[in-house]
Amino acid sequence: MAGSRVPRQLFLQGVAAVFMFAFASLYTQIPGLYGPEGILPARKTLRPQGKGRWQQLWETPTLLWEAPRLGLDTAQGLELLTLLGTVLALGTLLLNSLRHSLIYFLLWAAYLSAYQVGQVFLYFQWDSLLLETGFLAVLVAPLRQPPNRKQASQGGLAEASPHEGLPFWLVRWLLFRLMFASGVVKLTSRCPTWWGLTALTYHYETQCLPTPAAWFAHHLPVWLHRLSVVATFLIEIAVPPLFFVPVRHLRLAAFYAQALLQVLIIVTGNYNFFNLLTLVLTTSLLDDDHLSAEPGLNHHKKITTSWPKALLTILSLLLKLATCGLLAYGTVYYFDLEVDWQQYTIRSRTTFTFHQFSQWLKMVTLPTVWLGVASLAWELLKALWRWTQLRGWLRKFYAAVQLSISGTAVVTLFLISLVPYSYVEPGTHGRLWTPAHRLFGAVEHLQLANSYGLFRRMTGVGGRPEVVLEGSYDGHHWTEIEFMYKPGNVSRPPPVLVPHQPRLDWQMWFAALGPHTHSPWFTNLVLCLLQGKEPVIHLIQNNVTMYPFHKQPPTYIRAQRYKYWFSPPGKQGQWWRRQWVEEFFPPVSLGDPTLEMLLRQFGLQDKSPPRARSPNNSLSQALNWIRMQLSPLEPPTLLWGLLGAVAAVRVMQAMLAPWSLQSSPLARREKHKPAPKKDSGAASDQAAPGPNSSTSSSRITRRKK
Angle at the Cα of 320 (from 318 to 323), degrees rounded to 5? Answer: 105
- Amino acid present at 352: F
For residue 691, name the pLDDT band (cuts at 50, 70, 90): very low
Cα distance between residue 202 and residue 192, in whole Å:
12
- 192 domain residue, yes or no: no
Q: Helix axis angle, 393-421 relative to 434-443, nearest 10°?
A: 90
Which of 225-234, 262-271, 495-504, 647-656 shows the lowest mean pLDDT across its residues?
Answer: 647-656
Last residue of a domain, one of 119, 134, 160: 160
Helix (H, G, I), strand (E, B) or coil at 558: strand
pLDDT > 80? residue 702: no
pLDDT at 608: 56
Mean pLDDT value of segment 262-268: 97
Question: Whose CA is closest to 470, among 523, 514, 526, 516?
Answer: 526
Residue 119, in any domain of the structure:
yes
Residue 509: partners with Cβ closer than 8 Å, 6 or more residues away: 208, 209, 466, 486
Query: Residue 675's pLDDT band (boundaries 50, 70, 90)?
Result: low
CA–CA separation, 572 vs 491, rounded Å? 9
Q: How confident is the model at residue 392 (pLDDT cuts 50, 70, 90)?
A: confident
For position 700, what pLDDT does the model report?
A: 41
Give the whole-angstrom CA distance, residue 519 versus residue 602: 10
What does residue 425 show for φ and ψ, rounded to 5 degrees? -145, 105
Domain of 471 in residue numbering reads as 464-606
The answer to whether the beta carbons of residues 700 and 681 sit under 8 Å apart is yes
Nearest residue to 547 via CA among 477, 474, 483 = 483
State yes or no: pLDDT of 623 exceeds 90.
Answer: yes
Distance CA 521, CA 643 (A): 33
**Phi and psi angles of residue 39, each rounded to the nearest 5 degrees, phi first:** -70, -45
Tens digits of residue pLDDT in 456-511: 889 989 999 999 999 999 999 999 999 999 999 999 999 999 999 999 999 999 99
| CA pair distance 288, 160, nearest whole angstrom | 15
The residue type of 605 is Q
Phi and psi angles of residue 62, each rounded to the nearest 5 degrees, phi first: -145, 140
The pLDDT tens digits of the residues spanning 268-327 come to 999 999 999 999 999 999 999 888 754 444 444 444 567 788 888 888 899 999 999 999
Question: What confidence score (pLDDT) does residue 454 get?
Answer: 84
Q: Which of 172-176, 583-587, 595-599, 683-687 has the lowest mean pLDDT?
A: 683-687
List phi, psi (to 5°) of 144.
Answer: -140, 155
Residue 370 lies in a domain: no
Q: Could you give the 3-state DSSP secondary structure of residue 479?
A: strand
pLDDT band at 266 (very low <50, low <70, confident <90, very high): very high
CB burial of 184-217 (b: ≥16 within 10 Å; e: otherwise) equals bbbbbeebebbbebbbbbbbbbbbbbbbebbbeb
The pLDDT of residue 4 is 87
Report the number of distinct structural domains present in the chain: 2
pLDDT digits (tens, 9 = 90+) for 235-252: 999 999 999 998 999 999
The terminus-to-terminus CA distance of the chain in angstroms comes to 53
Residue 671: C-alpha distances to residues 108, 153, 656, 674 (Å): 45, 21, 19, 8
| DSSP assignments along 481-492, one per residue | E--SSSS-STTS
In a domain, 427, yes or no: no
State which of 606, 629, 654 marks the end of a domain: 606
Going by the DSSP 8-state scheme, the letter that residue 495 receives in this structure is P
Model confidence at 684: pLDDT above 80: no
> What pTM, to 2 d.p., does this model score?
0.90
Q: Return the closest-CA partner of residue 611 out of 200, 225, 69.
A: 69
User: Residue 234: beta bridge partners?
Assistant: none
In a domain, 400, yes or no: no
CA triple 188-194-196, angle to 5 deg: 120
To 10 degrees, the CA torsion angle through 630, 631, 633, 637? 70
For the chain, count helices (H), then strands (E).
Answer: 28, 6
Instruction: Summarize pLDDT for 41-88 with one digit per residue, the tens.
Output: 999 898 877 778 888 899 999 999 999 999 999 999 999 999 999 999
The pLDDT score that the predictor gives to residue 681 is 44
Position 544 scores a pLDDT of 86
pLDDT of residue 424: 93
Identify whether 227 is part of a domain.
Answer: no
238 in a domain, yes or no? no
| pLDDT value, residue 82 | 97
Which residues are registered as beta bridge partners of 589?
none
DSSP conformational letter for 372? H
Per the document, the length of the chain is 705
- Tell me which of 574, 590, 606 is where a domain ends: 606
What is the dihedral sign for C-alpha 576, 581, 585, 587? positive
Is 178 part of any domain? no
Contacts of residue 269, defined as CB under 8 A and 6 or more positions apart, other chains included, come to 204, 207, 208, 209, 210, 211, 214
pLDDT for residue 680: 45
Largest interatomic CA distance in the chain: 117
Q: What is the pLDDT of residues 334-368, one digit of tens each?
A: 999 999 998 899 999 999 999 999 999 999 999 99
pLDDT digits (tens, 9 = 90+) for 551-587: 999 999 999 999 999 999 988 789 999 999 999 999 9
* Buried-exposed string 340-371: b where 16+ CB fall within 10 A, e elsewhere: eeeeebeebebeeeeeebeeebeebbeebbeb
